[in-house]
Structure 1
């Protein structure tokens, strides 16, 4: 089997290493030519995944058309804001029997589309799946046991991707609720940013636990409004991904949030992290989407004001704490029983 991976960042490179160990032929592409040359020359992605050997059955291509030629699966591992542009560049070279797998986690600004929707818009005749869940690239590349979920509208496609990706150290479950899987994977980055801000402000475990618990509630609230199944958010792409992203220093969203909480600007924080911080763009699109469809998302709203309106993070926390009184269990029950 030949599998093509578009995007040679940390996650794309980690998946390339994972799949190469199953003896697949792996081709990888990125817009950064020097990065591709480095991979072919040194067998290492020094910038994004240092210290991890990239086996010889991984070959980097500068030409995206040659990269996907003859492959059975096209893995989208570019940042969410680049998915549409990559789809445009693939027009005319993708075959109908090639299956897309999206690793990108985000909601597109302006259109509010999920990543699979963007791919389907450009390639309506191709099968599309999503791979999501608590999975740091740094750990996957070192064979640290990891569990994720393969999701597609078709259970047959989800199971096909499950079979392709599963290894003794990388367990893959299936779920046909692709809306819920993608919403969970995207919006948890917002909560991780907020958790990082909390850490940067010097707040403790109580605060983070509150952010995570109420965060999954508003993720589920948005997902259900968009047609997701509420129980999906209790799974790997919901609470699982939220836990790992809010608590680990591998998380670029949490790291950026810490810097913002310490007083850095958004630009300074992203520059210091040196990787794409998906939660920033997702905060903008999710806030605007929630306003459009009338879904209450208080954490997202306050983080939007911090990131895009210059609100003091301490004041944002105060706003959250001083909101009107609420019942907790009734809200959860309403979502489950819908």
Structure 2
């Protein structure tokens, strides 16, 4: 539900970017290219090599006089996109500050980011349209300060701390995917990403979206959950959760078995195919695998739960595949494990 709300609020930002492009740029983008833009700029978006190939295959050479003209077009696209996302980041940070203060508060970088957006669209004939879109940021900040709902495509919705965290967590990923798309040459270069509050580092081509939640279990125990998630394609998703507990479970083996089953249940898989205890890098571990059909859609999930006693918590490593193949879900998880290290 929260993820859907994030998409509904964030997607108009993407559409505004497309609408505010100069006429020749808008007409130059095919429906497929616009669909790709919307996908990569979404908070929970993704970019595949096939999408990159589709985007560049649909780029009509007729809209460019020469290579220099094409390079100028791409520079404009990158500048416009970067400035819009930078403004949105400052706007949402201002939303959070206003919510906490109970009055309108703007970050020190808000006005400069707004001016940068307007500057990016100088001479395009779209500056007035852009300015009207930026006014949405002002309205969101005011609504957050007063505790009022904002309008989303599904009706009124409140701005919550969790919503702000999800939007901000997804913006860096959107920016990285857009930069990768605008490079005519597909590059897949893993980079080391550190997530100290999840106690892991990951070799991956792009950031994982991060979310932090604080929850209380039925027995009164308190949990802090750090979630790292990335969508590889429309069908494939991988993730890592670090679950911190106030007090250790009396029976660690039973606890991680329960968490493994519960994680599959959260995916919609009520009956695991297998739940197997093991050790992983010298730590106690349980692997659970299963398949199900949810709302007419086949899916498969694989999760490993690892006890991190030195950090008073557990690590969940997950692969989810929209399709009946549990082997595919297992391969997703195993590939993530190969790229993962636990911080000392």
TM over 0.5: same fold? Answer: no
Kindly indicate which of the two structures has a greater share of residues assigned to strand.
2
Rg bigger for which structure? 2
TM-score normalised by the chain length of structure 2: 0.27
